[in-house]
Amino acid sequence: MDQERRCTIPKDAIGPTLLELAKENDKIVVMSSDVSVSCNIEMFHEKCPDRFFEMGISEQSTMSASGGLAAEGFIPVYVALAIFSNGMTWPQTRQVCNANLNVKIIGTHAGVDDGQDGSGHHATEDVAISRALPRMTVLTPSDENEVRAAVKAMVEYEGPVYMRVAREPQPVIHEKECEFTIGKAEYLGDEGDDFAIVFEGTALKQALEGWEKLKSLGKRGKLISIRSVKPLDVSCIRDIAAKVKTIITVENHSVIGGLYSAVCECLAERKYKAVVKAVGFGDVFAMSGTSAEIKETYHVSGQRICEAALEEDR
């Protein structure tokens, strides 16, 4: 994996992709709660004003309206910062799932990617919140090209879907027209059985850094992107757990209820060779600062991934 590759901001793929899809599907409408510029969907507002609903700072009402539009046969896509589209709308989202309404939710600025606005704007619980809801599908694409493919997949999928997207620049590792299959993990590297780094998409940069550090030390393992936390690719997780010494889960999210929890849950019923170690945020509200500063402070880093993999050798 070449760490010198081009980096872009994944959320910037959202607006152009929705515009492209809207040309082919007149049922797509986009919902916003006063963050259309931040989420890169203002272009949809400009090009399709009659299919764009600016609801103001009223996230719960936006989700309720999305459910009503879905009940009438539309495909509403609610795009906002993850703490707003997900964290502030739980009762309304639960009702959307209860009715199995075809609402699509995109949470940008995932994890601590809105770092300098402080813990009130961080979203380190959104995977836990959404995957606990029956009927909710939870997607975690990585780079801009995979986000583009994931938006297309979620619109085609019937039922409620939540997708978290990074604000921070991420290395571009996928081709522009890559495929995205809901429920399937993706092997990005498979060079041995010393370890497996298993990550959710918004932690791509840290996962790549850990992968490269371990390779430089002569360790050979696997690098796996969990593109879909729910449904989780259980067969993939169980297969690697039977082969490697250590699985390191990496997430820009709390390790409570997030990817680490999901992986441990699917392995708990049987004995496996691997131990599972978590790299993510603990039981904390993180400090304010740049995303990079926060991740380093709380050890969500390539260095911590490397240390976790080497602990079993001591």
Tokens 């600025």 label which residue?
Answer: 109
The pLDDT-based confidence of 314 (bands split at 50, 70, 90) is low
**Is a pLDDT exceeding 50 seen at residue 253?**
yes
Note whether 167 and 190 are same-domain residues. Answer: no
pLDDT tens by residue, 283-310: 999 999 999 999 999 999 999 999 999 9
Which residue among 111, 143, 171 closes a domain? 171
Give burial (CB, 10 Å; 0-12/13-18/19+) of 23. exposed
What is the spatial distance between Cα 164 and Cα 97, in angstroms, rounded to a whole number?
17
pLDDT per residue as tens digits for the range 85-100: 999 999 999 999 999 9
Domain boundary among 129, 148, 171: 171
Residues 115 and 219 occupy one common structural domain: no
Cα 225 from Cα 200, distance rounded (Å): 6
Same domain flag for 12 and 154: yes
User: Are residues 249 and 124 part of one domain?
Assistant: no
- The CATH code of the domain that includes 276 is 3.40.50.920
Domain presence at residue 181: no
| pLDDT at residue 124 greater than cutoff 50 | yes
Q: Check whether residue 36 and residue 118 sit in a common domain.
A: yes
* Whether residues 110 and 222 fall in one domain: no
Residue 90's nearest CA partner among 123, 134, 60, 61 is 60
Per-residue confidence (pLDDT) for residue 312, from 0 to 100: 73
| Chain Cα centroid distance, residue 190 | 22
Q: Do 157 and 205 lie in a common domain?
A: no
Q: DSSP characters for 260-289?
A: HHHHHHHHTTS--S-EEEEEEE-SSPPPSS
Residues spanned by the domain of 108: 7-171
Q: Is residue 83 part of a domain?
A: yes
**What's the pTM value of the predicted model, to 2 decimals?**
0.95
130 and 203 co-located in one domain: no
Which distant-in-sequence residues (6+ apart) come within 8 Å of 35 by Cβ?
A: 79, 80, 81, 84
- The first and second tokens of residue 15, run together, are 């607006």
CA distance 170 to 188: 15
Q: What's the CA gap between 162 and 130, in Å, rounded? A: 7
Contacts 24+ apart (CB under 8 A), 22-26: 22/48, 22/51, 25/75, 25/155, 26/51
In a domain? residue 220 = yes
Could you tell me if 125 and 248 lie in one domain?
no
Q: Taking all residues of the chain, what is their mean pLDDT, rounded to a whole number?
A: 96
User: What CATH number does residue 80 fall under?
Assistant: 3.40.50.970
Q: How far apart are CA 55 and CA 63, in angstroms?
A: 10
Whether residue 260 is contained in a domain is answered as yes
Q: Which residues pair with 11 in a beta bridge?
A: none
pLDDT (average), residues 45-64:
96
Residue 239 lies in a domain: yes
The answer as to whether 272 is a domain residue is yes
Give yes or no: residues 192 and 166 share one domain.
Answer: no
Residue with the two structure tokens 């515009």? 19
- Asked if pLDDT for residue 56 goes beyond 80, the answer is yes
**Sheet strands (E) in 140-217:** 161-164, 170-171, 186-190, 195-199
Question: How far is residue 229's CA from residue 133's CA, in Å, rounded to a whole number?
Answer: 13
Residue 26 has pLDDT above 70, yes or no: yes
Decide which of 114, 140, 171 is a domain's last residue.
Answer: 171
Q: Which tokens in the block code for residue 270? A: 């049987």
Report how many domains make up the chain. 2
- Same-domain check for residues 190 and 160: no
149 and 225 co-located in one domain:
no
Nearest to 251 by CA among 225, 283, 232: 225
The answer, yes or no, to whether residue 142 has pLDDT greater than 50, is yes
1 found inside a domain: no
Tell me if 151 is assigned to some domain.
Answer: yes
Q: Give the strand pairing for 228-230 and 137-139.
A: antiparallel
Helix then strand count (H, E) for the chain reads: 12, 14
Q: Is the pLDDT of residue 154 over 70?
A: yes
